[in-house]
Chain A
Amino acid sequence: MLEREMKRGSAELLILALLEERERHGYDIGKQIEERSDALIKFHITSLYPTLYRLESKGLIEGRWVEKAGQRRRRYYRLTPGGRGTLVRQRSIWQNFAKAINRVAGIKHA
């Protein structure tokens, strides 16, 4: 149960963090996660779109169709003000969580 929640939370955090930089389309988001996590985080690409739609339903991100010259239209997602707030909160939760694990498990930074 906890594991599932954490996984889900981490996926949301990753997406929000990626959209903080700039707006991106779904394929781009998936690729970025794969590249940046060095495949350490197992992220099922099948769950990308359900996660995006869930975030959109919560009002944390919003998607819109954008037509660029010479390209087909794509659906781009960007962070809403609410999403920005959630991102800040989730980051600090993760930080505290990591600190707590460190304390308990005695992992020391080099």
Chain B
Amino acid sequence: MREWSRHLRDVFASTLLDADIVEELAQHAESKYDELRADGASEHDALAEIDRLIDGWRNDPASLQRVVRRSIAVVPPATSSSILSGTIADAIYGLRLLRAKPGYAAVTILTIALGVGAVTTLFSVAYGVLLRPLPWANADGLIRVSETRGGREGRIPGTMLNSTYLAWAESPQTIASIGAFRETPMTLTGLGDATRLTVSAVTPSMLKMLNVNPDRGRIFTDEEGERGKGRVAMLSRGFWEQRFGARDDAVGQLLTLDGTPYTIVGVLPRDFRFPSAEVQAWVPWYVQPIDGPNGTKSGTIMRVLARLTPGMTAAQAAAEGTSRAMAASDAGFIAMSLFGARDPIAVHVQDAKDAAVADVRPAILALLVAAALLFVTAIANVANMQLARATARQRELTIRAALGAGTARIARQLLLENAIVGVLGSAAGLGLTVALHAALPSLLPTGFPRLDAITIDGRVLAFTLVLSLITTLACGVLPLLHVRRLELARSLADGSAASAGAGRSRLSATRALIVASQVAVTCVLVIGGVILARSFVAQMKADRGYDPANLLTGVIPFPPGYSVERREQAMARILDRMKGHPGLLHVAGGTGLPLVSSGGFSGFSLPSPVRNGQVVDVQTIRRVVTADYFEALGIRLRAGRTLNESDVPGAPVVVVVNRSFVASFLDDIPIERAVGLSLGKDAVRVAKDKVDAIIVGVVDDLKQDRPGDPPQPEMFVSWDQMLGNNYGSQLFIVARTAGDPAPFVEALRTSLREEDPAIPLDAVMTMDQRIGESMSRPRMYATLFVGFAAFALVIAGTGLFGVLAQTVSQRSRELAVRTALGATRLQVIQVALRQMSVAMAAGVVIGLAMSAGLSNQLTPFIYGVSTHDWISFGVAPLVLVIVGTIACVVPARRVAQTDPVQVLRET
């Protein structure tokens, strides 16, 4: 058997054939030989056949030459006399250069597009939500007014009491008008199946204040805001089209809401989305005075807008509001239960737009900063690549300079090339923004304010233009500075296209600086991303005081026609029907449900059972619940017992309280001692009798909305003992299941339908679903931040990789010579590696420092993690080091694998 390689080397020894070619031919000969033998040829015949083949090759060794093609440079434009034609020629030249390197062009343009797209989208969101004027005429005079008592906000923040509102509305000075609004679900009947509508109750003054012109019909009259005269409704354009087929005769028809007929008087325009885009109909709001008949008091807390009288300031309005509130009739215990304090009263004034978006402002700003950082990293990368390219094109530029092209001419060309890349990238970024805009409604969390104000308009376009200008300058200036330092003679005399020659150390220092800044920015983004992601996980896993797993929940809005008694009977039947289902462990009903409704408030004076002679003002959440409520929700009992079947009418009135209740109103005594204490005769009013309510148990606090909310005092009252009391038409059902609760959704719906088809099945959901929904904002913040961080990582990684790969390819000749002279290959790029390591380390240190300064900005929307969380601050450098190592290993491997002889021959 022949050694084919050696044999062919011998055969072609005299022909100076390329070693690669000899090897290729040897492989061919060997394969052919194997094939002939496999086909049954004798060794002799096979060898003879191969020899004939080799003879054929040997006959014409000249044809066995491979000419390695160098890529043909795009021919630069001739020097032109006219500036315009010269510019055009340069632009065409730039485009050709890009076409010649499609991969490079794609990476550059994509990188810019990513940065520009992220910043432009966030800018359009920030501008639309935070800055764009509200869509009403003369919106700049609109203010949100609210009040505090004893420095505390109402149960719903940003609201004011009806007494203050009415006192101020009577004859206002600093404000031209004042109006109130609220959103409420109502049941629509008489138009097909019973459905829930989102309805807004507004004072007639509100619509006037917003200068709204109806598409059809009229808006509410002042009279319709009076007691008993408000049986009229206005429809949203969308609802009118959907339910009434946009017919003109809809105006004048009746709309039955919560069992009451309302006459449709008008249709509001499509762009009227007040207070939110979900509203389908509006009804007048009669604001009742706080003093009812027979000395009763009825308090309401309301969201209120006002319009400043021209020339008046917000401070003047606040001062007037405060004095009006103090002059209003005394809100007494109502102020206590709604605000937790009576006085001092203070009215606050805020710009209406700022008030509407206050809760998303910090997040939008933080995300805008993150996007800007991503943009900076992206641009730095492109600048770095352009710089590298200018270095590689040194020979071309030098020759052009030597042939008479002035620095200005070369500068123009470089700037134009960058402008082309900048404009193309920004255009692609704008495309990305447009695509993101289409997806925004589904990307943004539910209830995100002012979605409709987020548009791509002239301002956003101008912003993109500015970004492309920044990109062009940032990417063009560095190569330009480098070109100015060209040393013509040396660069040419050097002869090698690869040699960077003059200014190499300064150049690599610049590039190291860019890498360091990229690493720093990426570090900030990664830390922010990890903090937010950890906060999200912490919120998902947080102890909410109940067990959300395997929990089915339902909201039952009973039709308004139901009497208290009928509601109670229906509820009892529904619970009984559900209890029959195998797989349901506990089924309970109540007036409250976490994430939906706290279930009502109660305020009373309590002769302190722990301090003789003292009276404690109690304001507490009060839930009326059936006995199984605690087991069903998984609320933990800490002392005494929960409610049970023995707590019936006639038996001693009992309550269960939570730890916060004990801490707030019972002097924080040990909870065991709270069991058995009396809360006096005012705590629970059963029918008309006044009897002492006894604490029989203490449970852990539960979080009504977010896990980060402060705990609130709570009191649980027995459903059976409270029969006959009216606590609203909306009740809740909770069912603990042995396994997945999803299969029971239909069972609950059926049992409601069996009870009365007029009961709309408003919201049957598992508790996990409700929690998921409530987490949509933290989820979006975390997702966006982590996304930005991931992009920044990729960008910084490719940047680092680019620098090293470029170093390797530019210095391949030097590498080859030095390896040939005995240096190990890695030694050769050690300098570059060391430099990049230093740059990375510096970047990480700067990034950590920046994060330490910036992360406090995340405080408003994180939970369960410190803004200086050591894990987040530890993970970021680790991730960066891993990415950096990967970016370094590939070029280093390439060096280790190159054949110095090959390099020397080709360059």
Contacts and interface: CB of A to CB of B under 8 A. Distances in A.
Interface string A20-41: 0000011100100000000000
Contact of B60 (A30, A50, A72, A75): A50
Contacts of A72: 27
A6 interface: no
B28 A53 contact: no
Contact of A49 (B31, B32, B64, B67): B64
A27 B32 contact: yes
A31 B855 CA distance: 66
A53 B64 CA distance: 7
Interface of A: 25-27, 30, 44-47, 49-50, 53-54, 56-57, 59, 65, 72, 74-75
Given A45-B53, A59-B69, A50 B28 contact: no
Nearest to A59: B69
A49 B27 contact: no
Taking each of A25, A46, A65, which has the highest tally of chain B beta carbons within 10 Å of its own beta carbon? A46
A45 B32 CA distance: 11
Given A56-B66, A57-B69, A49 B25 contact: yes
Interface in B18-49: 20-21, 23-25, 27-28, 31-32
Given A27-B31, A57-B69, A75 B24 contact: yes
Given A44-B56, A45-B56, A57-B69, A50 B63 contact: yes
Nearest to A58: B69
Nearest to B32: A27
A9 B865 CA distance: 72
B294 interface: no
20 contacts: A25-B27, A26-B27, A26-B28, A27-B32, A30-B28, A46-B53, A46-B57, A47-B63, A49-B21, A49-B57, A49-B63, A49-B64, A53-B63, A53-B64, A53-B66, A56-B66, A56-B67, A57-B69, A65-B20, A75-B24
Contacts of B56: 44-46
Given A46-B59, A49-B25, A53-B65, 18 more contacts: A26-B27, A27-B28, A44-B56, A45-B53, A45-B56, A46-B56, A46-B57, A49-B28, A49-B63, A49-B64, A50-B60, A53-B64, A57-B66, A57-B69, A59-B69, A75-B20, A75-B23, A75-B24
A50 B69 contact: no
Contacts of A59: 69
A27 B24 CA distance: 9
Contacts of A53: 21, 63-67
Contacts of A25: 27
Q: Interface residue tally of chain B, by bracket? A: 20 to 34
B903 to A, nearest CB: 15
Nearest to B24: A75
A9 B31 CA distance: 27
Interface in B48-80: 53, 56-57, 59-60, 63-67, 69
Contacts of B69: 56-57, 59
Contact of A50 (B23, B24, B64): B64
Taking each of B28, B32, B64, B67, which has the highest tally of chain A beta carbons within 10 Å of its own beta carbon? B28
A54 B64 CA distance: 9
Nearest to B72: A59
A57 B24 contact: no
Contacts of B57: 46, 49
A44 B59 CA distance: 13
B31 A57 contact: no
Nearest to B52: A46
Interface string B315-329: 000000000000000
A89 to B, nearest CB: 20
Nearest to A80: B69
A46 B24 CA distance: 13
Contacts of B65: 53
A74 B30 CA distance: 12
B23 to A, nearest CB: 8
A50 to B, nearest CB: 4
Contacts of A46: 53, 56-57, 59
Contacts of B67: 53, 56-57
Interface in B763-806: none
B49 to A, nearest CB: 10
B81 to A, nearest CB: 35
Contact of B27 (A44, A50, A74): A74
A49 B53 contact: no
A-B residue pairs, 3 tightest by C-beta? A46-B56, A50-B63, A57-B67
Nearest to B29: A27
A95 to B, nearest CB: 29
B846 to A, nearest CB: 42
Nearest to A57: B67
Interface string B653-676: 000000000000000000000000
